[in-house]
Amino acid sequence: MEQLEIASENADPDSKIFGLTGGIGSGKTTVAKIIENMGFPVYYSDGRAKELVNESQFLKSKITQLLGEESYDKQGVYNRKFVSTIVFDNPEKLQALNAIIHPAVKSDFQNWLQKNADKEFVFKETALLFELDLDKACYKSVLVTAEDNSRIKRVMDRDSKTYREVQSIMAKQMPEKDKIKRADFVIYNNGTLEELQTEVEKTIKEITTI
């Protein structure tokens, strides 16, 4: 995958793209799985980004040039922990890293979209839907949100992070109130998994019958 195969922007099918987003600990991925189980195709931007940085020699070269040889371990696997320490408090490095990875994900999504051209509705899961103005290319946007304490506890349990570490991550993300104002639909994930399932099914039925 040298230079990455670029899909034509003008070759987009007529599928209605719903942007699905949510901050850390919101339950965005869980919601995406529920939607997928309902029969709708879901493109996992964050997951594909993690795969692409390991699959593409072009990305490996660019990232190594930007952040150094330690960006990949001896087996050539992306060193996420090292990269995170470099870019976490360095906005310029983070922006430069995003400028390398995001075009690759965009191209990968275009290819995926063409493979799902026969689907009326597709969902694009991405953490930075609003931050990168990706919602402007979507038919509608869906935000998954939850109370701060619930989000913090989920991340602490999932990633073994401290309360302060999770707070620090959340502080660097777009405020929830700003996302809520911008989203076309909001799914609140403050209860049980069963309650979330019901809420997701209700919302998806609503937005796919507009």
Q: Is there a domain that residue 139 lies in?
A: yes
| Long-range contacts (CB closer than 8 Å, 24 or more residues apart) made by 31-37 | 31/144, 31/187, 31/189, 31/196, 31/200, 32/123, 32/125, 34/196, 34/197, 34/200, 34/201, 35/123, 35/200, 35/204
Question: 208 burial class (0-12, 13-18, 19+ CB within 10 angstroms)?
Answer: middle
Q: Are residue 97 and residue 167 in the same domain, yes or no?
A: no
Q: Is there a domain that residue 152 lies in?
A: yes
Instruction: Point out the domain boundary residue: 95, 118, 141.
Output: 118
Question: What is the tally of structural domains in the chain?
Answer: 2
> Per residue of the chain (210 residues), what is the pLDDT tens digit?
344 443 434 444 578 999 999 999 999 999 999 999 999 999 999 999 999 999 999 999 999 999 999 999 999 999 999 999 999 889 999 999 999 999 999 999 999 999 999 999 999 999 999 998 999 999 999 999 999 999 999 999 998 899 999 998 899 889 999 999 999 999 999 999 999 999 999 999 999 886
Strands 140-145, 16-21: pairing kind: parallel
Q: Which amino acid is it at 20? A: L
Q: Are residue 137 and residue 210 in the same domain, yes or no?
A: yes
**CA-angle at 47, arms to 42 and 50, nearest 5°:** 155
- What CATH number does residue 63 fall under? 3.40.50.300
Q: Are residue 36 and residue 56 in the same domain, yes or no?
A: no
Q: What is the pTM of this model?
A: 0.86
Q: Is there a domain that residue 11 lies in?
A: no
Q: Are residue 34 and residue 138 in the same domain, yes or no?
A: yes
Q: Is there a domain that residue 173 lies in?
A: yes
Question: 86 burial class (0-12, 13-18, 19+ CB within 10 angstroms)?
Answer: middle
Domain boundaries, position 51: 42-118
